[in-house]
A and B are shown apart, each in its own frame.
Chain A
Amino acid sequence: MTKQSLIVLGIVIALSASAFAATKATPPKGTATISLPGDAGMAFKPGPGAGVVQGQCLSCHSSAYVSTQPVLTKAQWTAEVTKMKAVYGAPIPDDQVPTIVDYLTTQYGKP
């Protein structure tokens, strides 16, 4: 945004703020459009099984959902993967689960 448009925006906000002290806001009109940044260069840590996790754990959300968790135990990571499958419908083949759990426990957890 240019400096000028910032100033104009500032004036618009100041005007509407004083206007709204007097009268109630009315419903919005028109289309609001945004463009979300996506995963902004985030990635799972490298390591054995990373490819499988990349393939199975990025369709519904960013890897940040994993990397921001506290240090979970193997049992807790197993419960997370099971929940993704059973509750949220992640189409993860059963035979990939041990690889995924081992990867998560090694990279983001503790035994």
Chain B
Amino acid sequence: MDLGRGRFLAATGAAIAAGAIPGGAVAQSVKLPFANGDRPLVAFPQKRPLIVLTPRPPQLETPFAVFDQGVYTPNDAFYVRWHLANIPQSVNADTHRIAVTGLVNSALSLSLADLGAMPAVELAAVNQCSGNSRGLFEPRVAGGEWSNGAMGNALWTGVRLRDILDRAGVKAGAKQVQFNGLETGVFPATPNFKKSLDLDVARGDDVIVAYAMNGQPLPVLNGYPVRLIVPGWFATYWVKMLSAITVRDTVDDNFWMKTAYRIPDTPNNDVLPSQTGFPTIPINRMRVRSFVTNVADGGTLPEGSRALRGIAFDGGSGIKGVEVSSDSGATWRDATLEADYGKYSFRRWHAELDVPRGTFVVAVRATGNDGATQRATAGWNPSGYMRSAIETYQVTVS
């Protein structure tokens, strides 16, 4: 467990009163807790100031304090992650179509109105980037250098993918369903971003094509007018500005499935940094995680307060329990779980520390209904995916 890491400067926004940034925002910055962690805070269209990883393509991290403010992450604070820079900046929901083709009895071209005429489903689900927390890997790995804010929880409304597939009629021999959105590369040679799910996963009860997020249209940067929602699974599959659904009779071998977004097929999906030649599989379900949200690492609780609050989630079994420790994980006591918004949602929890005044290493550990729990030691994989170790925070009680 990494107890001595640099103190997290929680969006204190060491304000530099800089000139206007295109878009009219005022520049501020934060320092994420790893080398080369300086980031500007900029308000992109339909967004409040977020932590900019790269402006082009837009990759914006949610400041962690937002997660203390409610079980749902507001749309204007929801993180943003695109792969390719050619993103439509104007999308017409009235003319947008989703082409359903491939191994189906009748190809479809679905409008948003067509979706509106189908049975609506609503569910809360966490969307987490595969590489959330990559910057905290040790040894470091190249990639999108996120801290813990490449995730969010929203209420999604849409229609079941299964209902769409049934309407088209999936033919015998179908193996996978592939998804494409409107994002494309700057050069034609760049592999188009497409993702595929095995047919049984695609036909799951809770996989939906969502046209609303927290009761509102999706922000353009989160995939207006429709995106795929694969609850419990990492966000790489949640294709934004969804425009094509293709039923395939073969396993997708495009770059984004065959080469990228793969995890070691080893115990805990861990390997040693020196290891090579291990088998890999496509990344899939999220692992159980929990965080403290009301105080940052290195922070001080309000005078006299010993109250901790936070969030927990997993890959869809739901949270069974959360424990907190004030002695760096030597002993644990149960936290109280708050309202249940469903097995794919953030689950809020609170606890009271049983400590005198002083500085303590607080740790938080969640367990899922499937029995999986968080480990003290962070595992490692070469792409920096699915970090899920127990989080620790140096906290002062005053």
Q: Do A and B come from one complex?
A: yes
Shortest Cβ distance from residue A26 to the other chain B in the assembled complex, whole angstroms: 6
Instruction: Say what secondary structure dominates the interface of chain B.
Output: loop
> B35 to chain A: which residues have CB within 8 Å?
70-71
Instruction: Tell me if A28 is interfacial: C-beta within 8 Å of chain B.
Output: yes
Establish whether residues B187 and A27, one from each chain, have CB atoms under 8 Å apart when the complex forms. no
Establish whether residues B54 and A65, one from each chain, have CB atoms under 8 Å apart when the complex forms. yes
Instruction: Tell me if A7 is interfacial: C-beta within 8 Å of chain B.
Output: no
Establish whether residues B56 and A33, one from each chain, have CB atoms under 8 Å apart when the complex forms. no
> B58 to chain A: which residues have CB within 8 Å?
36
Instruction: Tell me if B113 is interfacial: C-beta within 8 Å of chain A.
Output: yes
Shortest Cβ distance from residue B97 to the other chain A in the assembled complex, whole angstroms: 13
Establish whether residues A40 and B91, one from each chain, have CB atoms under 8 Å apart when the complex forms. no
Q: Which of B21, B145, B255 contacts A70 (CB 8 A)?
A: B145
Q: A66-96: contact bitstring with B at CB < 8 Å (1 yes, 0 no)?
A: 0111111000100010000001111100000
Establish whether residues A70 and B142, one from each chain, have CB atoms under 8 Å apart when the complex forms. yes
Q: How many A-B residue pairs have CB under 8 A?
A: 158
Establish whether residues A25 and B93, one from each chain, have CB atoms under 8 Å apart when the complex forms. no
Establish whether residues A40 and B224, one from each chain, have CB atoms under 8 Å apart when the complex forms. no
Establish whether residues A28 and B55, one from each chain, have CB atoms under 8 Å apart when the complex forms. no
Instruction: List 13 other contacts, CB 8 Å, given A29-B93, A71-B36.
Output: A20-B215, A25-B211, A26-B212, A27-B211, A29-B94, A30-B93, A31-B93, A61-B54, A70-B35, A70-B142, A72-B142, A88-B185, A89-B190
> B115 to chain A: which residues have CB within 8 Å?
27
Q: How far apart sit A89 and B221, CA to CA, in the bound complex (Å)?
A: 25
Instruction: Tell me if B122 is interfacial: C-beta within 8 Å of chain A.
Output: yes
**Beta-carbon contacts under 8 Å, A23-49 to B:** 24-42
Establish whether residues B36 and A61, one from each chain, have CB atoms under 8 Å apart when the complex forms. no
Shortest Cβ distance from residue A39 to the other chain B in the assembled complex, whole angstroms: 6
> A26 to chain B: which residues have CB within 8 Å?
116, 211-212
Instruction: Say what secondary structure dominates the interface of chain A.
Output: loop
Can you list 5 residue pairs at the A/B interface with Cβ under 8 Å? A27-B112, A36-B58, A38-B22, A68-B53, A88-B185
Q: B120-137: contact bitstring with A at CB < 8 Å (1 yes, 0 no)?
A: 101000000000000100
> A25 to chain B: which residues have CB within 8 Å?
122, 157, 211-212, 215-216
Instruction: Tell me if A62 is interfacial: C-beta within 8 Å of chain B.
Output: yes
Q: Which of A16, A24, A61, A70 contacts B85 (CB 8 A)?
A: A61
Instruction: Tell me if A17 is interfacial: C-beta within 8 Å of chain B.
Output: yes
Contact flag A41-B212 (CB < 8 Å), given A29-B94, A70-B34:
no
Q: How far apart sit A41 and B42, CA to CA, in the bound complex (Å)?
A: 12
> A60 to chain B: which residues have CB within 8 Å?
84-85, 185-187, 190
Among A19, A26, A67, A87, the one with the most B-chain Cβ atoms within 10 Å of its Cβ is A26
Instruction: Tell me if A64 is interfacial: C-beta within 8 Å of chain B.
Output: yes
Q: How far apart sit A29 and B115, CA to CA, in the bound complex (Å)?
A: 12
Establish whether residues A89 and B21, one from each chain, have CB atoms under 8 Å apart when the complex forms. no
Contact flag A69-B21 (CB < 8 Å), given A37-B42, A42-B55, A60-B190:
no
Instruction: Tell me if B191 is interfacial: C-beta within 8 Å of chain A.
Output: yes
> B217 to chain A: which residues have CB within 8 Å?
28, 32
Establish whether residues A87 and B191, one from each chain, have CB atoms under 8 Å apart when the complex forms. yes
